[in-house]
Amino acid sequence: MPFPIWVGVCIFNDLAIAARVLQTLGLVQSVLIVDLDVHQGDGTAVIFADDPSVFTFSMHCEVNFPGTKQQSDLDVPLPAGMEDEAYLQTLAAHLPDLLDRVQPDLVLYDAGVDSHFDDRLGKLALSDRGLFCRDMQVLTTCRQRGYPIACVIGGGYADDFEALVYRHSLLHRAAGDVAAQSQFLIGA
């Protein structure tokens, strides 16, 4: 099966390719893509628009790029300026039910950090702690329900490079904490 390529910020859609390779190898059948980058996962939405084996979930800032949104299987547009508590509550209102509904063989998680309040392109207002809590929430929700999850870092456009590196490290710190409690995670 040829890989469709959606050209946006990145030439290759790593999550789409990973999902297709794993399916082709017969390692998984159904995949849930959880895209929490502040920009909509529009490429992923288009690539899997007619494919019920890959469920696309995007939670993003509604007024952010792209101006014209695509249709994911589940889109949760967020108002500009949303802070930690409201964000985490919104995520908690969707992810557990989504896992129960889709029952994927694998979750692929895009942990973009451009939802940080200090991001140049973000327009949301999460703190470092909020990003860490978000990652812990995704990981523990999947683990508690028995769903394997693989994670990638995503967008992040801060002028302070060290601060940006630290924000990306939060995913690895969260995954390390969760993995220390269980040998459940793969590829994190």
Cα-Cα-Cα-Cα dihedral of 183, 103, 13, 151, to 10°?
-20
- Of 88 and 121, CB closest to Zn ion: 121
Q: Determine the Cα–Cα distance for residues 77 and 67; give it in Å rounded to an integer.
A: 12
Q: How many residues bind Zn ion (CB under 5 A)?
A: 5
Q: Which residue is listed with tokens 């490290």?
A: 169
How does DSSP classify residue 115?
T
Restricted to residues 72-101, the positions that interact with Zn ion (CB under 5 A) are none
Report the nearest approach of Zn ion to the CB of residue 142 (Å).
22
Q: Determine the Cα–Cα distance for residues 26 and 40; give it in Å rounded to an integer.
A: 29
Nearest residue to Zn ion, scored by beta-carbon proximity:
155
Q: Which residue is listed with tokens 């995007």?
A: 58
Q: Determine the Cα–Cα distance for residues 132 and 30; give it in Å rounded to an integer.
A: 27
Report the nearest approach of Zn ion to the CB of residue 66 (Å).
10
Report the nearest approach of Zn ion to the CB of residue 181 (Å).
30
- Of 104 and 112, CB closest to Zn ion: 112
Q: Which position among 23, 32, 35, 39 is part of the footprint of Zn ion (CB under 5 A)?
A: 39
Q: Which stretch binds Zn ion (CB under 5 A): 28-36, 54-62, 110-118, 142-150?
A: 110-118
Q: Which position among 73, 104, 155, 171 is part of the footprint of Zn ion (CB under 5 A)?
A: 155
Under rule CB under 5 A, residue 37 binds Zn ion:
yes
Specify whether the CB–CB gap between 56 and 81 falls below 8 A.
Answer: no
Specify whether the CB–CB gap between 101 and 58 falls below 8 A.
Answer: no
Nearest partner of 94 among 134, 126, 146, 50, judged by Cα = 134
Report the nearest approach of Zn ion to the CB of residue 157 (Å).
8
Q: Which position among 110, 114, 119, 135 is part of the footprint of Zn ion (CB under 5 A)?
A: 114
Site residues for Zn ion per CB under 5 A: 37, 39, 112, 114, 155
